[in-house]
Structure 1
Amino acid sequence: MKEAKKAGYSSFRVPLALNYLFQQSHFEKELLKLIEASIQLDSRLILANFNHGLSEKNYSQAIERLYSDWERVLSVVPQNPGNLYFELANEPDLNPDTWYRAVQDLVPRLHKIRKDIPFILGATNFNSLFELSRIQPWSLEGVIYTFHFYEPYLFTHQGTDWTGPQNSTLGIPFPYESSSMPRLDYRAKGTPGEINYRDYEMTGNSVAIQDKIGQIAAWAQINGVQLWCTEYGVTQNADADSRKIYLEEVQKVLSQHQIPGFVWEWEGNFGIKKLTPPFLSN
């Protein structure tokens, strides 16, 4: 964190598998060190829970585990924790009504323990901005709303094996340029990727990015809530020039709407170390 701060980064989002990590005897000590380092460096720190295991089948059990995991985290946090935030559950994939009720029950229970650390809340369908724009904000204090932005998906996830054949087409440029477009990979035929390829002339440009982020920014303004984008990015499978243009464009639009943004990274596949200038979170 210290080296990243020297490089110009001031905000950090750390993905944590809380249920797994609490089985490790040293985790709470290491967690405290991380929090204390962020305080000393005057950095914004988000702790995000990535292995909540929420589903419709195990809903009741998973909710109680989610509560107990955050209860344990709260017991570790020192007084005056600085710019510390908790992302309740990364990319929940429950029925929207189920998730809405769960949050309305869970956050007040955690606030009874401590109310000085804001919780970050997203919508279902993997923190979809479209799902978020459809809900009425929760009647809760001390919360921040989030969305993840990977539009257009055809470009940002090209060649990623975990998303399947739909994103098998490589060489997708940003912005769209007809003369630079590759042929649709045969594996993408008959998948949503074929439709996304067809529509890329309309979605692969700055105007489309401005329109989508503008919609959720308007929702936040109408409802008077604070809004962050806790993930945006593009795979290293895309060419470097396109990646830079895309990341700069998303950052510019987020900044225009005063939405803090965090570039996603995991095991190097979305990394930005080789891209300059650094893409700072707001």
Structure 2
Amino acid sequence: MVLPFCRLGGHFVQSHDQKDAKELILPSLRALLCFSCLMAGPVTASATTFTMKHGLSLDLWTTWPGPERWDEEAVLANFPEWRQGVSADNLQDIRKAGFDFVRMPIDPAIFLEDASDKRVTRLIAETLRSVDMLHEAGLKVIVDLHSIPSDVRKVGTNQVLADKDLFSRYLDVVRRLGQALARTDPATTAFEPFNEPVVDCDPTLFPKWPSMLEQLHSVARKAIPNHTLILSGGCWSSAHGLEKIDPERIADDNVIWTFHSYEPYVLTHQGADWTGDSMSYVEGLPYPPDLMGEKAFEERLAAVRQTIEAKAPEERREELLTGFNEMAGGVMSYEQVLTMLNEPFDKAEAWGKEYEIPPERIFLGEFGMIRQEYRKEFRMPSTWRAAYLKDMTGAAEKRGFPWSVWSWGGAFGITLDDDKRVLDPVILKGLGLKPQ
């Protein structure tokens, strides 16, 4: 168990600005506090220093330039990338809509790929400046080290998890960023040191992520002792991956455990051409599937099959058709959809009960439905997306889980467009929030 420093009069006893005074005062003060605790009775498990309800993930990947530009002033001055063209009013609109926190993704590659100490120091300073901007807008912040799963990158999720030396360097970034964030208020800032480990999806293999998670937690906790950490299981931070984690090996009550879910995938990722499967050819499937009647839904499935047969590479056509038919077979009715949608929640809930983790410490960290793939003409109707988001937030809130929708802008954006940043009122209503 990790116990945060006690508070006196609403302030932490530990001071980062008065080191000498701390060294003189803290020993006797701790003794007095510990004596008071003993007199009061046994110590109970501490609550998290960071609490949350309804969140929104900020942008990643939409306009970020290649590594050859990562030392340019224009890039560094707008880090993380969501800051480009964003005003204080845009951020305040997020708060006014009813979001109490944001999840701020940061691509760690820029800290690792040919990065000088000067660059890393500047990136950390810009990260802290970004956190301050969000706090000024009335928003709590989860700082999310959010690597990208790609085989072609020099530094991405796949590479970090496969290379011991690179993982060690990644841990050093966690340490440095954590130490910087330690100066922020633990009530309004939390730290998520790894996003979506892409390992442990094969149930026949011994899980790799739990031991790596223990290393990650140890480094992060030493760097940032008083703040809530957001941790997940493997297999893309899924509920399936969470089931393989024994939280007693972490033994930290100031942790919120997260899982991500985009089920049913065949409906939420329509048109996504970066998935490597049949989703690039899928469009026009409504939510819920019986919205326009069973016959109309079957006609749309048939249209997708025709598209695959006409446009997919001949050598992959059969494979893609088989994959699509398997996915489509599970969403032929709203009842089937709800069963699939609720399964990850049931897993996370059962895991929490097994280890006596309260529901407010289990976090639906990502969910969403695609708005429009960048290179495609088809745009998902807001009403379909709102219906899906309503079911997802309902499943989370029924169990007492906080949530964060993906994302502010980008392909899954919940704005009307990525320039003016006006939040879609239909989507906000689906999330149970306040249209502006």
The TM-score with structure 2 as length reference comes to: 0.59
1:72 is matched with which residue: 176, 179, 197? 176
CA distance in structure 2 between the partners assigned to 1:80 and 1:266 by the alignment:
24
Give the partner amino acid of 2:230.
I
Greater Rg, structure 1 or structure 2? 2
| Shift in CA distance, 86/114, structure 1 to aligned 2, threshold 3 Å | closer
1:153 equivalent to 2:153? Answer no
Give the partner amino acid of 2:368.
G
Partner of 1:46: 142
Partner of 1:276: 425
1:175 equivalent to 2:288? Answer yes
- Mind listing any 5+ residue stretches in structure 2 that lack a counterpart? 1-90, 148-154, 201-205, 309-316, 373-379, 417-423
* Per-residue deviation, 1:163: 1.3
* Per-residue deviation, 1:86: 1.5
2:362 is matched with which residue: 227, 230, 234? 227
How big is each residue's C-alpha offset from its partner over 1:12-62, in whole Å with a ceiling of 9 and x where there is no partner? 011101340574463222211222334445532111112273447743113
CA distance in structure 2 between the partners assigned to 1:176 and 1:204 by the alignment:
10
CA contact (8 A) 2:109 2:156 kept: no
* Per-residue deviation, 1:155: 0.1
* Per-residue deviation, 1:205: 2.9
Give the partner amino acid of 2:100.
S
How big is each residue's C-alpha offset from its partner over 1:185-213, in whole Å with a ceiling of 9 and x where there is no partner? 34275332220112212575334323431
- Which secondary structure state, in structure 1, belongs to the residue aligned with residue 350 of structure 2? helix
1:217 is matched with which residue: 315, 338, 349? 349
CA distance in structure 1 between the partners assigned to 2:165 and 2:157 by the alignment:
9
* Per-residue deviation, 1:148: 0.8
| Shift in CA distance, 138/89, structure 1 to aligned 2, threshold 3 Å | farther
Partner of 1:123: 233
Partner of 1:91: 196
CA distance in structure 2 between the partners assigned to 1:80 and 1:97 by the alignment:
35
Give the partner amino acid of 1:185.
R
CA contact (8 A) 1:175 1:206 kept: no
1:197 is matched with which residue: 328, 334, 339? 328
State percent identity of aligned pairs: 22
The TM-score with structure 1 as length reference comes to: 0.88
Which stretch of structure 1 is more off in the superposition, 24-33 or 192-201?
A: 24-33
- Which secondary structure state, in structure 2, belongs to the residue aligned with residue 26 of structure 1? helix
CA distance in structure 1 between the partners assigned to 2:367 and 2:105 by the alignment:
14
| Shift in CA distance, 59/205, structure 1 to aligned 2, threshold 3 Å | same
| Shift in CA distance, 50/212, structure 1 to aligned 2, threshold 3 Å | closer
| Shift in CA distance, 145/222, structure 1 to aligned 2, threshold 3 Å | same
CA-atom RMSD in angstroms: 2.5
* Aligned residues between the structures: 281
Give the partner amino acid of 1:265.
S
CA distance in structure 1 between the partners assigned to 2:212 and 2:232 by the alignment:
12
CA distance in structure 1 between the partners assigned to 2:184 and 2:272 by the alignment:
42
| Shift in CA distance, 73/86, structure 1 to aligned 2, threshold 3 Å | same
* Per-residue deviation, 1:273: 1.8
Partner of 2:11: none
CA contact (8 A) 1:156 1:235 kept: yes
- Mind listing any 5+ residue stretches in structure 1 that lack a counterpart? none
Partner of 1:59: 163
1:162 equivalent to 2:285? Answer no
Which stretch of structure 1 is more off in the superposition, 270-279 or 251-260?
A: 270-279
* Per-residue deviation, 1:68: 0.9
Partner of 1:253: 395
* Per-residue deviation, 1:90: 0.9
